[in-house]
């Protein structure tokens, strides 16, 4: 249930125009964080919405690198 709520929240944000490619002070995107935290349903949602899976953070890591940590 909680995971479903997070997915719904992300879906709502995307529907309201949230950027898929926003970066934080470390150069990480929402996809980096979803992958790092094992939020695979959110990863799928972001990728289906058009998130760039090759975007590198400030250390040169792509989201899949975060998933493997």
Render the burial of 48-65: b for 16+ CB within 10 Å, e for the rest.
Answer: eeebeeebebeeebbbee
Residue 52 sits in a domain whose CATH number is 1.25.40.20
Question: What are 28-52's pLDDT values in tens digits?
Answer: 999 999 999 999 999 999 999 999 9
Give the single-character DSSP code of 66: H
- 34 Cβ neighbours under 8 A, 6+ residues apart: 40, 42, 43, 46, 63
Domain that holds residue 43: 2-11+21-67
* Number of domains present in the structure of the chain: 1
Place 2 in a pLDDT band, splitting at 50, 70 and 90. very low
Please report whether residue 16 resides in a domain: no
Please report whether residue 37 resides in a domain: yes
């Amino acid at each position: 249930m909680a995971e479903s709520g997070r997915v719904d929240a992300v879906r709502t944000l995307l529907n309201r125009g949230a950027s898929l490619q926003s970066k934080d002070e470390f150069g990480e995107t929402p996809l980096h964080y979803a992958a790092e935290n094992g939020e695979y349903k959110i990863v799928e949602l972001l990728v289906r919405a058009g998130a760039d899976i090759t975007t590198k953070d400030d250390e040169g890591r792509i989201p899949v690198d975060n998933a493997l940590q």
